[in-house]
């Protein structure tokens, strides 16, 4: 049986690469549900609050006050005269890299950024994502967000994408220019191609890791520490 590949995003692509079976069972067939950790709930709460602070200048509540300085840095950039702030910006492109509505049937790739600040000239964008988890090396997600931003903003010639690590206050950032765009897509194409091939062959094999024992909801997988025969 051949399946049509759904639209991809950075998180879908990396979930597929980490374990094709887990990806299929939780994001495609949805026979099993990912569970949300308390850390993720905290992250969602922070995201909503930061959005309100940036958009409406609502002060951070007492419980999140320790994040106020780092949010304040972004607030200052957004408040520069002539700058434009977009929070929770959702973007989607079709297979020809043309922007389309986020839930359009023709969507090929999606990307979301927690904030995007366009400079007064309209020629550059600073985009970023709040990260509540443990700091990790900057990932290819920064590149993907930049490539999608360039496609949705034809006048922009410079994009800086960033992760803001709330536990440390550190920032991972990379700056891209429009001539970088073909290289970015070329770096993703083989990865997306492998995902497409899995759908074409309807083949989503398990890829065991340290998560199998206690941290995977796919109990129908024989590798799962809590395996239950179907
Ligand atoms: S138990 Fe391991 S191999 Fe099986 S789906 Fe989960 S992560 Fe993948």
Model pLDDT for residues 83-119, shown as the tens digit of each residue: 999 999 999 999 999 999 999 999 999 999 999 999 9
C-beta separation of 40 from 34 below 8 A: no
What total of structural domains would you count in the chain?
1
Residue 38 is predicted with a pLDDT of 66
| Mean predicted lDDT score pLDDT of the chain | 92
Atom of ligand 1 nearest to the CA of 207: 3
Return the sign of the alpha-carbon dihedral for residues 145, 164, 65, 63.
Answer: positive
Whether residue 142 is contained in a domain is answered as yes
The length of the chain in residues reads: 230
Rounded to an integer, the average pLDDT of 164-171 is: 88
In angstroms, the CA 5 to CA 108 distance is: 9
CA of 43 to the centre of ligand 1 (A): 25
Residue 139 is predicted with a pLDDT of 81
Q: Where are the beta strands (DSSP E) in the chain?
A: 84-93, 109-118, 124-131, 158-165, 171-177
- Ligand 1 site, CB within 6 A: 19, 21-22, 206-209, 211-212, 216, 218, 221, 223-224
* Cross-strand partners of 112: 90
Whether residue 179 is contained in a domain is answered as yes
Residue 63 is predicted with a pLDDT of 85
CA of 191 to the centre of ligand 1 (A): 20
Whether residue 138 is contained in a domain is answered as yes
CA of 183 to the centre of ligand 1 (A): 33
Higher pLDDT, 36 or 171: 171
Whether residue 208 is contained in a domain is answered as no
What tokens appear for 12 in the block?
A: 């879908």
Question: Which tens digits make up the pLDDT trace of 21-72?
Answer: 999 999 999 999 987 766 666 777 888 889 899 989 888 888 888 888 888 9
CA of 173 to the centre of ligand 1 (A): 32
Atom of ligand 1 nearest to the CA of 222: 4
- Containing domain of residue 153, as a range? 34-189
Whether residue 26 is contained in a domain is answered as no
Atom of ligand 1 nearest to the CA of 20: 8
Band (160; pLDDT cuts 50, 70, 90): very high
Indicate whether 145 pLDDT > 80: yes
Whether residue 9 is contained in a domain is answered as no
Indicate the DSSP class of residue 65: G
Rounded to an integer, the average pLDDT of 152-172 is: 93
In angstroms, the CA 155 to CA 26 distance is: 38
CA end-to-end distance (rounded Å), the chain: 21
Whether residue 218 is contained in a domain is answered as no
Whether residue 215 is contained in a domain is answered as no
CA 6 to the chain's CA centroid: 16
């Amino acid at each position: 049986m051949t399946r049509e590949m759904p639209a991809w995003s950075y998180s879908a692509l990396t979930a597929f690469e980490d374990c094709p079976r887990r990806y299929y069972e939780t994001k495609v067939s949805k026979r099993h549900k990912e569970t949300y950790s308390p850390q993720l709930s905290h992250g969602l709460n922070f995201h909503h609050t930061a959005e309100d602070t940036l958009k409406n200048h609502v002060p951070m509540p007492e419980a999140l006050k320790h994040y106020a300085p780092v949010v304040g840095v972004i607030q200052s950039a957004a408040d520069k005269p002539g700058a434009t702030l977009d929070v929770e910006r959702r973007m989607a492109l079709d297979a020809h890299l043309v922007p389309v509505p986020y839930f359009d049937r023709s969507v090929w790739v999606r990307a979301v950024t927690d904030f995007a600040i366009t400079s007064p000239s309209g020629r550059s964008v600073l985009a970023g994502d709040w990260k509540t988890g443990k700091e990790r090396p900057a990932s290819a997600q920064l590149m993907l967000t930049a490539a999608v931003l360039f496609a949705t903003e034809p006048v922009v010639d410079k994009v800086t994408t960033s992760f803001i690590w709330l536990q440390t206050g550190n920032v991972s950032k990379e700056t891209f220019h429009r001539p970088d765009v073909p290289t970015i897509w070329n770096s993703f194409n083989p990865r997306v191609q492998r995902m497409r091939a899995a759908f074409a062959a309807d083949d989503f094999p398990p890829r065991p890791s340290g998560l199998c024992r206690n941290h995977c909801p796919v109990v129908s997988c024989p590798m799962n520490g809590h395996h239950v025969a179907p």
